[in-house]
Amino acid sequence: MPGLRRDRLRTLLLLGVLLAADLYFHLGPRVRRRLRPRERPPGCPCAHRAATSAPRPAARHVPPAEPDGGGPGSKLRALFAHPLYNEPEKPPLLGPEDSLLAGPEALRYYRRKVARWNRRHRIYKEQLNLTSLDPPLQLHLETSWIQFHLGISRHGLYSRSSPVVSKLLHDMRHLPTISADYSQDEKALLGACDCTQIVKPSGVHLKLVLRFSDFGKAMFKPMRQLRDEETPEDFFYFIDFQRHNAEIAAFHLDRWEVNPLYCDTVKQVYPHSSSGRLLNIIDMAIFDFLTGNMDRHHYETFTKFGDDGFLIHLDNARGFGRHSHDEVSILSPLSQCCRIKRKTLSHLQLLAQADYRLSDVMRESLLEDQLTPVLTEPHLLALDRRLQTVLRTVRGCIEAHGEHSVVANGPTGQSAPDSGPT
């Protein structure tokens, strides 16, 4: 018995030491950072916004990435005036099969959802003996989110010149929120619904679905990390924070494996062997490298458009974590396959020129965002550095295989010969 008591005492002492070490080295610094007074950086654009309660003017019908009031010296305005950004963005629709949603069927579906919402809301008020003068929700065809949904086609979620995106962003800022709920994957993790029915149960960060007064919905991700706080070097990326500002910055940037022979196998497998899928994956890899997003485990497409459908750039919240580190492995699809669309390469080369420098046009575009400043200056400058890395990778491919083999002339790249072993 005395020996057993001594063992218990040693165990308690060991647990106490571990707890003290955790408090000192882990929890203590985090608490001190939380309690440290936060000073607003000098010249912060938010200071003026916080001092005035005047509503922002309604969005004009201009391309969504083009800032209102850009003067003659605007690099962003000059960029979108360049011939590369004035080419036809997509061929004309050939038929109903080119649209994601059939208009009449989609509207009937949305009307049923609105009717069900109104019915449930009425029952809820009756049960609680509540009275309200608010009229039932109505579905209007001109609502921005409906027009956005009906505009999704085989060629993309939206065209850069679409005025609907600008209106949609304005509505999300200003429309009243009528409900908030967990997302479907959050409910799955909480045991509220069948996990087998969830496409991708994600994990460790709160996400809410907000419903607006026009019955549109948006995903809300709370702020978890300061803009100037870098991801620690020893963080495994699966447990890294999902950053709210990374999703916003990815929208602005978008307007637009260790086996070096792995691509040889991929190129023999359908649909990568005959469609534009492989070139689209390489485009996405370049985008993820610029943002520093290592969390792209898979990609999504609309099944209606088959193997030629575009890739959807969902879930960018783990981007822009470390401005001081460039994760070159993200570029593996480009460096291993040595293929790139000519249009993509032309745009990247343009953004490397001083008159259209990527960091400058991103900085200007982000100034129009409601949460500006979205990215800190080191993250903006990292975009220029990473862009040069992409271009060096392409140059290395061209030196090894020739431009005719690396640069694909069409959207599917069928006019360019196979690059052979890489």
Q: Could you list the active site residues?
A: 295
Tokens 């065209």 locate to 159
Alpha helices (runs of H) in 36-143, residue ranges in sequence order? 45-51, 75-81, 103-127
Q: DSSP strand E in 200-359: where?
A: 208-212, 217-220, 340-341
Alpha-carbon distance of 383 to 152, in angstroms, equals 29
* Residue 209, SS3 per DSSP: strand
Long-range contacts of 268-271 (CB under 8 A, 24+ apart): 270/307, 271/307
- Give the residue among 349, 344, 346, 350 at the shortest CA–CA distance from 411: 344
Alpha-carbon distance of 116 to 122, in angstroms, equals 10
- Give the residue among 121, 95, 316 at the shortest CA–CA distance from 215: 121
Alpha-carbon distance of 59 to 68, in angstroms, equals 9
Write the single-letter amino acid at 411.
Answer: P
